[in-house]
Amino acid sequence: MGWKAKCRALGLEASEGFWNRTEDEIDAIYNGAGPDEFEGWPRWFLRHIFGDRFADAAGRAMLTVFLGIFEPAFPPHDVEYEDSDHTEESWHEANDRMRRNMRRLLNLRYPVGKPWLWLHRVRWMIKARAAFLAVESDTGYEAWIS
């Protein structure tokens, strides 16, 4: 099942640009959770462990696993970054849409009405918040306008 079918089945939001693309185009844009290139100490760590050639891909693979249940929220977000109009307003809209999609995925997996799942829910809520703060940062904005 391709990303568009997964997103439709899960009831996720996406821009018109996402829905109008082919699955091959989406696959060419989405390369896993995280930035195209890591910066700062993550970059240093990844390059020392995996070498220059594989560092960024390894970092994205690890982040994708770490953020597991939220992965369907990321291809639409990456397409929006690819289609960026470079305005701050659209940047916030793209990030807010990703946050709403992560919230929907969280609610599907760990519904509020099942208190025995609340500890899992809180753990995933923290991960969702961290992912949102990462894109809604100066580094995220730099990726949006570049």
Instruction: Write the pLDDT tens digit of every residue in 101-124.
Output: 999 999 999 999 999 999 999 999
For residues 75, 79, 82 and 84, what is the CA-based torsion angle, rounded to 10 degrees? -130
- pLDDT of residue 146 exceeding 80: no
> Mean pLDDT across the stretch 2-9?
96
Report the distance separating Cα 75 and Cα 15, nearest Å. 11
pTM: 0.90
Q: What is the pLDDT of residues 36-94, one digit of tens each?
A: 888 888 889 889 999 888 998 888 899 899 999 999 999 999 999 899 888 889 999 99
Instruction: Output the pLDDT for position 143.
Output: 79
Q: In this predicted structure, what is the pLDDT of residue 101?
A: 98
